[in-house]
Amino acid sequence: MSDFDMDAFDSIDFDSVEQSVAEKQAEKDKQESQEIEGMRDGANDCGDSCTI
């Protein structure tokens, strides 16, 4: 572990990192929610080829 600079942790803005991670997760959750909603909307729209 001698190659690892423990003092580098002093310069990291953990609050900023945490906020960035939370924002990215929220965006990912929003995209997944939109995809699921799109699947629900199209689930019963199968025209003449429904096989359910």
Q: Which long-range contacts (CB under 8 A, 24 or more apart) does 36-39 make?
A: none
**Which stretches of the chain drop beneath a pLDDT of 70?**
1-2, 44-52
The whole-angstrom separation of Cα 21 and Cα 48 is: 45
Does pTM top 0.75 for this prediction?
no
- Share of the chain residues as helix, strand and coil, in percent rounded to the nearest 5: 70, 0, 30
pLDDT of residue 47: 64
Distance of CA 6 to the CA centre of its chain: 30
The whole-angstrom separation of Cα 16 and Cα 1 is: 26
pLDDT of residue 11: 80
